[in-house]
Amino acid sequence: MDLHSVCKRLSAASQKLASSSASEKNKALDAVAKALDKNRALIITANKLDIDAARANGTSESIIDRLMLDDKRIDGIVASIRDVINQTDPVGEELGGWKTPNGLTIRQVRVPLGVVAIIYENRPNVTVDAFSLAYKSGNAILLRGSSSSYKSNVAIVKVIKQALAGAGEPDAIELVEVREHDHSDVDQILNAVGLIDVCLPRGGKKLIQNVVQNARVPVIETGSGVCHLYVDEFANLEMACRIAENAKIQRPSVCNAIECIVVHKTVADKFLPMLEKTFAGRVKLHADERSLPLLKDAVPATDEDYGNEYLDYECCIKVVDTIEEAINYINTHNTKHSESIISESRANTRLFQSMVDASCVYVNASTRFTDGGEFGFGAELGISTQKLHVRGPMGIKVLTTTKYLIDGDGQIR
């Protein structure tokens, strides 16, 4: 890959986009949405080739679920672009303004970052989400997907470029050619100082660590999802079972699914049999020594289970003596993603929300709501687990920075 030439084209496109109006960008995104809808058969056919190859390689069905595109998911992709179109254009938003004693007028406004790179795994819908958010916020984007979804991504980007050729900036999106077992292009991206303005990793722990540890370009870290559900001594246990079922089983391969259920000792005897009945053999439970006797069909948990991201129909169970112990356990083993407490105690829920270190902390709700669409952002670039620039689901404004515009009439210092 000639990264220098690719990024030069992306940079030129980003400069054009930076001065484009909201209506011009929306018109282009509308053309893309229509093109993806019209060419869904082409995309699904390419996706089937990726899925067949994944199954042949022994990939688990939960991971294949992340990879799969069908008519329903294409509908969702098109709808997400429509949602982005309806979002307010952040570029040019004035965040503050004042006049200095010497008569200078100072305004702080939002501007695009420029060239954004995203390195991601499996999920081809991310290709569209990342593009639409970048385009609406005036940025060009370099996409580096995984080899497992490469054919799907090629088909999607081809459709997007064709649509932009008639209605926008076709050079605002580029897909890196991926060769299996060859990650030299990733190293080039991470070291593209002066060519790439920010890089976002989205995937498993190994990918994210590689980017964070080796990048010389700025990085917005998205975290793997070791999420916990804490069932407090004052919990509504039926509610806890419903939320546990949703948070673990609905889509176990996603980063906002829970991987561990922490239970207060006073409700463990009653709750854990209820939980096992709710799961009805669908989830393999890794139980600590205090919860193991209370479950009929569980395996002993090992040290590797605490803080593990299963991404499958497996879950760890931990019994604690106090809410303080629960908070300490979660803060020790989580990835700062999403945590939830089930409790009718206002004091305990507020303590949990104030002390748990995570981007999203829920009370009496499933962690599955940590999502840009659910938060009203239309789509998302991922879930940031860092504390600088942005934290939580990343929507349009994440891809902007600010600059100061200063007007004078001859002032000198």
The answer to whether 222 touches 382, Cβ cutoff 8 Å, is yes
Separation CA 367–CA 193 (nearest Å):
36
| Burial class (CB within 10 angstroms; exposed 0-12, middle 13-18, buried 19+) of 118 | buried
Query: In terms of residue numbers, what domain contains 253?
Result: 227-369
Name the pTM for this structure: 0.84
- Quick check: is 378 in a domain? no
β-pair partners for 407: 105
Tell whether 382 is covered by a domain. no
Burial of 265 (0-12, 13-18, 19+ CB in 10 A): middle
Same domain (yes/no): 39, 72? yes
Whether residues 112 and 244 share a domain: the answer is: no
Residues 150 and 11 in one domain: yes
Indicate if 253 and 108 belong to the same structural domain. Answer: no
pLDDT at 13: 96
Which residue type occupies 370?
T
d(CA 412, CA 156): 54
Residue 291's pLDDT is 97
- What is the model's pLDDT at position 37? 98
- Residues 204 and 282 placed together within one structural domain of the fold: no
Do 64 and 145 fall within a single domain?
yes
Rounded to whole angstroms, the Cα distance separating 281 from 259 reads 16
CA–CA gap between residue 66 and residue 242 (Å, rounded): 23
Task: Report if residue 2 sits inside a domain.
Answer: no
The pLDDT score that the predictor gives to residue 342 is: 98
Residue 83 lies in a domain: yes
Query: Comparing C-alpha atoms, which of 36, 44, 46 is closest to residue 79?
Result: 36
Q: Residue 339 domain-assigned? A: yes
Residue positions counted in the chain: 413
Residues 180 and 232 occupy one common structural domain: no
Which CATH number covers residue 60? Answer: 3.40.605.10
Please report, in tens digits, the pLDDT of each residue of the chain (413 residues total).
789 999 999 999 999 999 999 999 999 999 999 999 999 999 999 999 999 999 999 998 888 998 999 999 999 999 999 999 999 999 999 999 999 999 999 999 999 999 999 999 888 999 999 999 999 999 999 999 999 999 999 999 999 999 999 999 999 999 999 877 678 899 999 999 999 999 999 887 788 889 989 999 999 988 789 999 999 999 999 999 999 999 999 999 889 999 999 999 999 999 999 999 999 999 999 999 999 999 999 999 999 999 999 999 999 999 999 999 999 999 999 999 999 999 999 999 999 999 999 999 999 999 999 998 899 887 888 899 888 888 999 889 989 999 999 999 999 99
The torsion of the CA quartet 366, 370, 374, 375, rounded to 10 degrees, works out to: 120
